[in-house]
Amino acid sequence: MKVSWCFLVISAICAAIIEGQPSTQGFTSIDCGAPSGTTYKDSTGIFYVSDDSYIDTGKNYNIDPKYTSTSNQALTLRSFPEETRNCYTLWNVTKGEKYLVRATFLYGNYDGKQMAQHSTPLQFNLYIDVNLWRTVNITDASSEYAHEVVTVAANDFIWVCLVDIKAGTPFISALELRPLKDNLYPYTFPNQSNAILFRLNYGPTKNVTIRYPDDPYDRIWPWYQYDTTMLKSISTTASFTRYRDDQYEAPFSVLQTALTPVSSSNLPTVSFDAPSNNPNFPGYYTVLHMTELQELSGNQSRQFDIFLNDWIWVSSLTLPHGMAYYRSDVVAQLYSNIKFTLVKMTNSSLPPILNGMEVYWPITMEVNQLTSAGDVKGIMDIKDDYNIIRNWNGDPCSPTNFSWHGVVCNTDEPPQITSLNLSYSGLSGKISFSFASLQSITYLDLSHNNLSGDIPDILGEMSKLQVLKLSGNHLNGQVPDTLIKKNNSGLLLLLSEAYHWCTTRT
């Protein structure tokens, strides 16, 4: 247990921020493409596992040994040449709680095809549940592309899907899930996730990346490379006090360095563009982390205005001494180009400083398009009972382009499964009770498999069922009365020849 920075702050706040090594409880850390059963603790102290219990499609590869990576996770990957959509199911989540999900991609010419050229990028889409998160656009075979999204779990699992858009075979190197405190990233709701455009740490003088354990949420804070003729680094080893309702909790190691102008009085920050090809783009939220690192003497002052393009975003800002401070957008800002400029006030003795920056954009979550939870559970159980692979992953009904082969859904909100065709599917064993979980099903075709044993009573309790096809199996025993009754009142029941004698009872 490490007790630091307590000397400087009052004890009430101190109690809340005594920290040891932060917990990795609730972290899911998947090294995609690692051999089945792999587990290891990497240099960050985080425990990684192979991906076999999170996905059942795709093929494992190593990157070409000519490429290297600083992270162990990027040496292997899983590639998806077959189905259009392939999904990981992140199981260890609680519905309604907030998470950071990070997907990482390093191509490394794993397939020997020299894809990912600047002229012909390797591209595919990334989905979070049934919603488009972003397009992955890989133009450098040796770079690690890490994309993060903050989301509220709509179920007791989160789907992360890779979708082929005919610009190369989708693949993934690592997938990570980190629980977040509920007050962080405040504009994240069940109906709205937020994708990180970038996050930067201003002030380090060399290329360092901050993540866990410095950031207990294991966000990645890359180094901002700066022009040393224009900007200079200032730093401290002191700690700060956090506001109780800090909505971003930038790690102290990020806040302990900052950039400030060498001679100019203004601090231009990076500018960034809205995607020009998306007329529905909602805009960006920006967070500027600005924490005073210097002990200002009596006649010193630091006061500045922040401009967003030509508009005053914050005026006459003075940084409260010793506090982890930031300013952020409360609505997404929609401009084709966004540029923040920090401008020293004429009567201020010191120029502006900037310690860190985050930019993210909202993604609308179509929660009403998620298949009804009972049907999802039922069909996932059926999938497990018969070990069905096909394209059966992700949401069974949505988006409709990717609905499961053999599954038909209605257009209700939420959608429900109305038809299931598993004929000629090589099913063997008994008829699963899980079929009865599909409450809205009208058509069920299990014909021409290798099913054996009894026909369970429970099939007769599926109230909406109109057609049940069981012929071409090895079923035996009596047909349940419930089914006979239903057939007599109109259910179309197709059985194998062996059953004719017992279905003609009166």
Check: CB of residue 38 under 8 Å from CB of residue 50. yes
Q: Is 112 left (phi over 0), alpha (psi -120 to 50) or beta?
A: left
CB 445, min distance to ligand NAG, A:
6
What mask of x and - would describe binding to ligand NAG in positions 160 to 179, judged by CB under 6 A? --------------------
Q: Is residue 268 involved in binding ligand NAG (CB under 6 A)?
A: no
| Only segment of 96-104, 250-258, 350-358, 482-490 that touches ligand NAG (CB under 6 A) | 482-490
CB 421, min distance to ligand NAG, A:
4
Question: What does the DSSP 8-state code read for residue 263?
Answer: S
Q: Is residue 225 involved in binding ligand NAG (CB under 6 A)?
A: yes
- Find the binder of ligand NAG among 36, 263, 278, 401 (CB under 6 A): 401
> What is the H or E stretch that residue 363 is in?
strand 356-364
Q: Is residue 488 involved in binding ligand NAG (CB under 6 A)?
A: yes
Q: Is residue 183 involved in binding ligand NAG (CB under 6 A)?
A: no
Q: Is residue 120 involved in binding ligand NAG (CB under 6 A)?
A: no
> What is the H or E stretch that residue 481 is in?
helix 481-488
- With 0-12 / 13-18 / 19 or more C-beta atoms within 10 angstroms meaning exposed / middle / buried, residue 83 is buried
Q: Is residue 480 involved in binding ligand NAG (CB under 6 A)?
A: no
Q: Is residue 23 involved in binding ligand NAG (CB under 6 A)?
A: no
CA distances from 290 to 55, 237, 255, 302 (A): 42, 16, 7, 12
CB 191, min distance to ligand NAG, A:
4
Q: Is residue 374 involved in binding ligand NAG (CB under 6 A)?
A: no
- With 0-12 / 13-18 / 19 or more C-beta atoms within 10 angstroms meaning exposed / middle / buried, residue 362 is buried
* Helix/strand number for the chain, H first, E second: 5, 33
Give the phi and the psi of residue 458 in degrees, each rounded to 5. -60, -25
CA distances from 416 to 37, 377, 382 (A): 35, 12, 15
Query: Which of the residues 328 through 357 are near ligand NAG (CB under 6 A)?
Result: 345, 347-349
Q: Tell me how far the alpha carbon of residue 268 is from its chain's centroid.
A: 32
CB 484, min distance to ligand NAG, A:
6
| Only segment of 4-12, 29-37, 187-195, 410-418 that touches ligand NAG (CB under 6 A) | 187-195
What mask of x and - would describe binding to ligand NAG in positions 405 to 434, judged by CB under 6 A? ----------------x-xx---x------
CB 255, min distance to ligand NAG, A:
20
- Partner residues linked to 101 by β-bridges: 149, 177
CA distances from 396 to 259, 372, 446 (A): 50, 10, 18
Q: Tell me how far the alpha carbon of residue 171 is from its chain's centroid.
A: 15
Q: How many CB atoms lie within 10 A of CB 468?
A: 25
Dist. CA 88–CA 160, nearest whole Å? 5
Question: What does the DSSP 8-state code read for residue 152?
Answer: E
Indicate the residue among 235 and 300 with the shorter CB distance to ligand NAG.
300
Q: How many CB atoms lie within 10 A of CB 295?
A: 10
Instruction: Tell me, by CB under 6 A, how many residues bind ligand NAG.
Output: 38
What mask of x and - would describe binding to ligand NAG in positions 126 to 165, judged by CB under 6 A? -----------x-x----x---------------------
Two tokens at 422?
A: 């598993």
Residue 188 CB contacts under 8 Å (≥ 6 apart), including other chains: 98, 150, 151, 152, 194
Residue 297 CB contacts under 8 Å (≥ 6 apart), including other chains: none
- Find the binder of ligand NAG among 228, 235, 452, 478 (CB under 6 A): 452
Indicate the residue among 303 and 328 with the shorter CB distance to ligand NAG.
303
CB 12, min distance to ligand NAG, A:
30
- Find the binder of ligand NAG among 38, 109, 191, 294 (CB under 6 A): 191
Indicate the residue among 68 and 309 with the shorter CB distance to ligand NAG.
68
Amino acid at 116: A
| Only segment of 56-64, 176-184, 241-249, 294-302 that touches ligand NAG (CB under 6 A) | 294-302
CB 5, min distance to ligand NAG, A:
28
CB 210, min distance to ligand NAG, A:
12
Q: Is residue 39 involved in binding ligand NAG (CB under 6 A)?
A: no
Dist. CA 401–CA 392, nearest whole Å? 13
Indicate the residue among 81 and 275 with the shorter CB distance to ligand NAG.
275
Binding residues for ligand NAG, rule: CB under 6 A, are 70, 91-92, 121, 137, 139, 144, 189, 191-192, 207, 223, 225, 297, 299, 301, 303, 316, 345, 347-349, 399, 401, 421, 423-424, 428, 445, 450, 452, 484, 487-488, 493, 495, 503-504
